[in-house]
Amino acid sequence: MMQVSSKLKKILDRDGYLRIKNILNFNKDLKPILNDMEYVMDNLVNKFAPRHMREKVFKYDFKRKYTYISKLNIYDLDQHFNTRLPRDNVKKDSDYFASQSLWNLINHKKILDVVEQLLGSEILSNPVQNTRIKQPESKLPRHSVHDGLSGRTPWHQDAAVLSSVGQRLTDMVTVWIPFTKTTKNNGCMITVKEINKLGLLNHVSGYKGQVEIKGSKLLDKFKPIFLEANVGDIIILHKHSIHCSLPNRSDDFRISADLRYNRAGTPSGRKPLPNFYVRSRNKKNITIHNYKQWISLWEKAKNKCIPRKYAFKYPLPTFKNSKRDLARLI
């Protein structure tokens, strides 16, 4: 196993998170993704809005369109804007959000430069990735308030969403990217410093099957770290970082993406979903060079998932005994 030693890695291993400022440029790196989301939104309006409303709704800005369309009870609306296959009920026509602009972000040099200091030079794009459009909670349908993509996210560790093999072996980091300024008021993430040193804790199935730390209310006695961030910043999370997100109490949207990367030689934890080199000292390892090849990987993965009807499953509870319960470790 290759050992990585850098100042950033030491801080990440100690605290469980990194906040790195001014890595990305909004107009060059992020706005193209928002533009592509606008295209997806217009397709949804055309497909689902009543004919007599379409012309009017097309004139709305993206946020107002999203608020409108979310009231039409479209099945799994967030999936149309999310960067992975649906967890369950995978079909030939299952939708997911993928674009040239998102491909560019996954391969962004400045992001990979940071990740290299944490994982080493041999880096794979991990298929555990999401884009999240978080409306003001006051505008959310009641059933979406605790939905991890559009509403609050419970206390969890990212390693817990991997397969049992991945939970043990995957060397992974999360790169969280805000497309809008993120504050306590609009639902920033919160974490607890240094508690990642406990390792992987026992998780159970929470609201809508979301992964949640067993006994997470015990975390209320710890001092929270509010991971507020400006557009252009990125937040890195250790795979054992304990974190959640606050509700969006503002009048505006909070939009973000969370990408993940794992060190080559360790499993993705989401087989058969795409796991490919994005950086290597051996150029022959780089076999996916463009957006079309990337989409082809996802379509092949979808075809493998259709017969079994799911893309991934959470191995819950994480452990079959209580030795890794939070209550026994703090």
**Amino acid 143: pLDDT:** 54
Residue 232: closest CA among 20, 24, 27 = 24
**Cα distances (angstroms) measured from residue 148 to each of 8, 20, 83, 138, 154:** 28, 24, 14, 16, 8
Q: How far apart are CA 161 and CA 128, in angstroms?
A: 8
**Amino acid 145: pLDDT:** 43
**Cα distances (angstroms) measured from residue 109 to each of 106, 122, 147, 155, 318:** 9, 14, 32, 31, 35
**Amino acid 148: pLDDT:** 47
**Amino acid 75: pLDDT:** 81
- Residue 303's CB is within 10 A of a number of other CB atoms, namely 12
**CATH T-level topology, domain 7-329:** Jelly Rolls (2.60.120)
**Amino acid 146: pLDDT:** 44
Domain limits, the chain: 7-329
Q: What is the mean pLDDT of each run of 10 residues along the chain (330 residues)?
A: 77 96 98 97 95 96 92 86 91 93 98 97 97 86 52 89 96 98 95 94 86 93 95 98 93 95 97 97 97 96 93 90 93
Q: What is the pTM of this model?
A: 0.94
**Amino acid 207: pLDDT:** 76
Name the token pair of 167: 């939970």
Cβ partners under 8 Å of residue 9, min gap 6: 117, 118
